[in-house]
Amino acid sequence: MRIYNTHQRKALIEFLQSNSSKAFTIEEIVNSMGGNEISQSTAYRLMTKLVEDGLVHRSVKGNSRSFVYQYISESKCEGHLHMKCTDCGKVYHLDSSTTSRIQEDIKSNSSFEIDNHTILLGKCSLCK
């Protein structure tokens, strides 16, 4: 299927790339982009496609029914775990050696294997 590179799609991707360490709700994206750049309905439609294309990760926001979206770079996010602050939403990338140690410890202690798409939840140093 052909990908249409509309002005709104480009602006949305640029916004997400420049804020790749944070996850946003659709409402936060629209408001942060000024509201005139992209409508909420367009943002929902484009975000669905960006998730399907593997450019954006969608996850549940805390204990709510809301979803947050975050730009991912395949080369940047491959081969390691992530930590996400449940207060501010910032995502931290663990290095590959720490990821390997965690995965090995869990596997040897519980025979459970976790994948590299796992996000560890907690509070960052600024939100503690």
Decide which of 11 and 88 is more confident. 11
Tokens for 82, please give them: 């992530």
Using 50, 70 and 90 to split pLDDT, how confident is the model at 4? Answer: low
Residue listed under structure tokens 């290095």:
95
* For the ranges 72-76, 115-119, 124-128, the one whose mean pLDDT is highest: 124-128
Residues of the chain with CATH 3.30.1490.190: 79-122
38 backbone dihedrals φ, ψ, rounded to 5°: -150, 140
Q: What is the pTM of this model?
A: 0.65
7-71 CATH fold: Arc Repressor Mutant, subunit A (1.10.10)
Residue 4: DSSP 8-state: P
Amino acid at 53: D
Mean pLDDT of 38-56: 90
The answer to whether 117 and 81 have CB atoms below 8 angstroms apart is no
Q: Tell me the average pLDDT across 33-54.
A: 89
- Residue 71, Cβ neighbours under 10 Å: how many? 23
pLDDT at residue 1 is higher than 60: no
Mean pLDDT of the region 8-14: 93
What are the percentages of helix, strand and coil residues in the chain, rounded to 5? 40, 20, 40
Domain 79-122, CATH: 3.30.1490.190
- pLDDT confidence bin for 77, thresholds 50/70/90: low
The CATH 1.10.10.10 domain(s) of the chain lie at 7-71
pLDDT given for residue 87 in this prediction: 78
